[in-house]
Structure 1
Amino acid sequence: MHAANILRLGIKELWGLARDPLMLVLIVYSFTLSIYTASKAMPETLNKAVISVVDEDQSPISSRIITAFYPPYFVVPRLISLQEMDDRMDAGLDTFALDIPPNFQRDLLAGRTPTIQLNVDATRMTQAFNGAGYIQSIVSGEVAKFLDRYRGVSAPPVDLVLRARFNQELNKEWFGSINNVISAITMLSIILTGAALIREREHGTIEHLLVMPVTPFEIMLSKVWSMGVVVLLASTFSLVCVVQALLGVPIQGSITLFVLGAVLQIFATTCMGIFLATVAGSMPQFGLLLMLVLLPLQMLSGAITPRESMPEIIQTIMLAAPNTHFVILAQSVLFRGAGLDIVWPQLLTLLAIGSALFYLSLRRFRQFLR
């Protein structure tokens, strides 16, 4: 192995990337605008949900319930009649329709258990699930305050005090922005190395390399380090300038330790990209393979859904994926401020997985060149 060959071949890859405007736009978009927009538009956040109220009681408690719905979670409630409720739901004008029955306040004060009907447009899935819980909590809270005032109900024997750690404001932007950076690292490192190899094959330059005094090991390693440097610089810029500066997300741990983990993750995923490129015969085939690989990596790594919520067989299988360990490392360092003494198992596991992927990819790459 000659280090000079690896350096020059890597520089050649960087020049090739610089002459590919679409790939440059993808890199810039993935680590800037994509991070910002995805974090600002987190689907779990209830925002300006449309609600209408049928007030058949016309009492102080019903007025109290109506005025409890306010922006930014809900738009100002629209008062409608009972006849309008179904028509508006059928037309898709309302996500929620609350029907407060007649004599609701009288039944409450008499010790009965009146029923409030909540109609939900379940086609708006995210708002339907989250909003129903919000509305139930709001109505229950207003009724409890009303009864406390009129009945003098004593305080409950247990007072639950919520103390949120690592994200005191329960701000979903904090969680979403960092997870999007993690996803972009995986996606771009696979795409860039795979596209670089397929570009060589389609342009016929791979044959030129074979007649030069370079080995398959040097060719592969040059693609790994060059594309890895691009992804590493872009992700570090995104974390510091977009996540920290623009979105105002506080980073609890060491960025240097996160970068170390990112280096090992990029090493593993760039090797994966080369392996997929040797399996695919063309860029369209490579794109189809990406769909089969990237979606499970992103969805089952624990970045979106906690691993404990998945079936045990899925948890066991995903231990072989570098994403699983990188997500654990990144969240521990950036959210909880973990140090090397906590995340060293993930670092060693990423190194082991990356080495195994490098070996398999190199064997496949040598067969690909024959």
Structure 2
Amino acid sequence: MRRLRTILWLGLKELRSLAADPVLALFMVYAFSAAIYSQATGITYELRNASVSILDEDRSQLSARLRDALLPPFFRPPEPIGAAEVGPRMDTARDTFVLDIPPNFQRDLAAGRHPELQLNVDATAMSQAGIGAGYLQQIVAQEIATFLGRTETVPVALRMRTAFNPNNESGWFVGVVGLINNVTMLAVLLAGAAVIREREHGTLDHLLVMPVSPLEIALAKLWSNGLVITVATGLSLWFVVHEAVGMPIAGSVPLFLLGVALYLFFATAVGLLLGTAARSMPQLGLLFILVVLPMNILSGGNSPFESMPRALQIVMSAFPSTHFVAFAQAILYRGAGLDIVWPQFLATGGVGGLVMAVALLRFRRSIAQAVG
């Protein structure tokens, strides 16, 4: 009981220290509010306001129909251009698409010939280029079929049913991914900064002359920073992602927060390890870039995990960040319960406990070296 009281009071000291650091406190508030909202509303994977120009060398009724079919919000009003403008406009990224309608296109089509349309695509805008090219192909095919009075007949009718995100709102996806990434980043930074702050302020020496052990110091830092991150995650999920962005939460918020708490065993332990390796905040920042950013990018949140090379999938399966993304999306999007996500919970808790044991051992050795 004495050890538990010591860990409790040392953790409360960490909370007061965090509250007394206005820069770190404001950074936390920003990271779980404005940063997530701006990502969710500013980053979109849908086709929206794509710039398109038309080189109309036919000037027929059909070419006018094709021009009028490109409507907002998918496309901006098409601009008519000349042949000499195609290359410069594509080179300067003024247009994502340039549709070239050749001379006598309507006449050749009515005569049963097979004229060709040319669509120039700026593929540096990957999302809009891929989706927009498909949209343009469908629009052109539909307008030509309508103009010729034909109906498309296929032997099988495909009825698409979009589950969990029926309107394909990318803000729902980006908001949750931003929240998941910020949980990892803030947990690592807070735990690492707590160690470095003690060293820079000289308070670590004061702790060492008190009747407390390195294990108690480390556990106090872990639970206090983990509590702050868990509370901030719950508030951000509800007020920013759910209320401000408008994403419905399909599953249990307490179950998700339980998973967050399990994941924080790993994330705060990584921060503790980096804090013992770094001697200053700039060094911690460099280690953070080398360790945490690749872990976030390859966790399956920003791109499908299945699309990665098989060898990389095997390596990343050993990191709890991958399992964190998996159970977070399962709970929040698909309403999964504990009976479905328990394997991810088990993997996250197991690896997190192992990394925490290594971090505590490393912290103890660094304290012993400081004393020596």
Q: Describe the shift of the 1:153–1:92 C-alpha distance in structure 2 as closer, same or farther (beyond 3 A).
A: closer
Match of 2:226 in 1: 228
Match of 1:312 in 2: 310
Residue 47 of structure 1 deviates from its aligned partner by: 2.2
Are 1:198 and 2:196 an aligned pair?
A: yes
Deviates more, 1:342-351 or 1:42-51: 42-51
Match of 2:158 in 1: 160
What's the % identity of the aligned pairs? 50
Q: Describe the shift of the 1:24–1:120 C-alpha distance in structure 2 as closer, same or farther (beyond 3 A).
A: same
**Equivalent residues in 2 for 1:87-98 (5 A)?**
87-98=88-99
Deviates more, 1:326-335 or 1:125-134: 125-134
1:355 counterpart SS class: helix
Match of 1:35 in 2: 36
Cα distance in 1, alignment partners of residues 340 and 124 from structure 2: 43
Cα distance in 2, alignment partners of residues 323 and 53 from structure 1: 46
Match of 2:73 in 1: 72
Count of residues in Structure 1 that have an aligned counterpart in Structure 2:
367
Cα distance in 2, alignment partners of residues 271 and 164 from structure 1: 39
Are 1:346 and 2:344 an aligned pair?
A: yes
Residue 34 of structure 1 deviates from its aligned partner by: 1.1
Please tell me whether the aligned partners of residues 234 and 257 of structure 2 are also in contact (alpha carbons under 8 angstroms).
yes
Residue 12 of structure 1 deviates from its aligned partner by: 0.9
Code of the residue aligned with 2:59 in structure 1: it is: Q
Match of 2:146 in 1: 145
Let me know the Cα RMSD of the aligned residues. Answer: 1.6
Cα distance in 1, alignment partners of residues 306 and 124 from structure 2: 28
Code of the residue aligned with 1:229 in structure 2: it is: L
Cα distance in 1, alignment partners of residues 124 and 303 from structure 2: 22
1:136 counterpart SS class: helix
Residue 354 of structure 1 deviates from its aligned partner by: 1.3
**Equivalent residues in 2 for 1:1-370 (5 A)?**
2-147=3-148, 149=149, 152-153=150-151, 155-370=153-368
Code of the residue aligned with 2:284 in structure 1: it is: F
Code of the residue aligned with 2:297 in structure 1: it is: M
Q: Describe the shift of the 1:227–1:63 C-alpha distance in structure 2 as closer, same or farther (beyond 3 A).
A: same
Q: Describe the shift of the 1:87–1:306 C-alpha distance in structure 2 as closer, same or farther (beyond 3 A).
A: closer
Cα distance in 1, alignment partners of residues 125 and 327 from structure 2: 34
Cα distance in 2, alignment partners of residues 121 and 311 from structure 1: 27
- TM-score (ref. length: structure 1): 0.95
2:334 counterpart SS class: coil
- TM-score (ref. length: structure 2): 0.94
Residue 142 of structure 1 deviates from its aligned partner by: 2.3
Per-residue CA deviation, residues 144-202 of structure 1 (Å, 9 max, x unaligned), is 3333x1xx345221111110011111111111111111111111111111011111111
Cα distance in 1, alignment partners of residues 171 and 51 from structure 2: 23
Deviates more, 1:26-35 or 1:103-112: 103-112
Structure 2: gaps of 5 or more residues: none
Residue 333 of structure 1 deviates from its aligned partner by: 0.6
Cα distance in 1, alignment partners of residues 126 and 207 from structure 2: 53
Residue 137 of structure 1 deviates from its aligned partner by: 2.9
Q: Describe the shift of the 1:235–1:110 C-alpha distance in structure 2 as closer, same or farther (beyond 3 A).
A: same
2:270 counterpart SS class: helix
Structure 1: gaps of 5 or more residues: none
1:47 counterpart SS class: coil
1:341 counterpart SS class: helix
Q: Describe the shift of the 1:30–1:114 C-alpha distance in structure 2 as closer, same or farther (beyond 3 A).
A: same
Cα distance in 2, alignment partners of residues 21 and 130 from structure 1: 44
Deviates more, 1:182-191 or 1:16-25: 16-25
Cα distance in 2, alignment partners of residues 181 and 73 from structure 1: 28
Residue 43 of structure 1 deviates from its aligned partner by: 4.4
Q: Describe the shift of the 1:109–1:158 C-alpha distance in structure 2 as closer, same or farther (beyond 3 A).
A: farther
Code of the residue aligned with 2:291 in structure 1: it is: V
Cα distance in 2, alignment partners of residues 154 and 37 from structure 1: 43
Per-residue CA deviation, residues 278-307 of structure 1 (Å, 9 max, x unaligned), is 111221111111111112211111112222
Deviates more, 1:354-363 or 1:59-68: 59-68
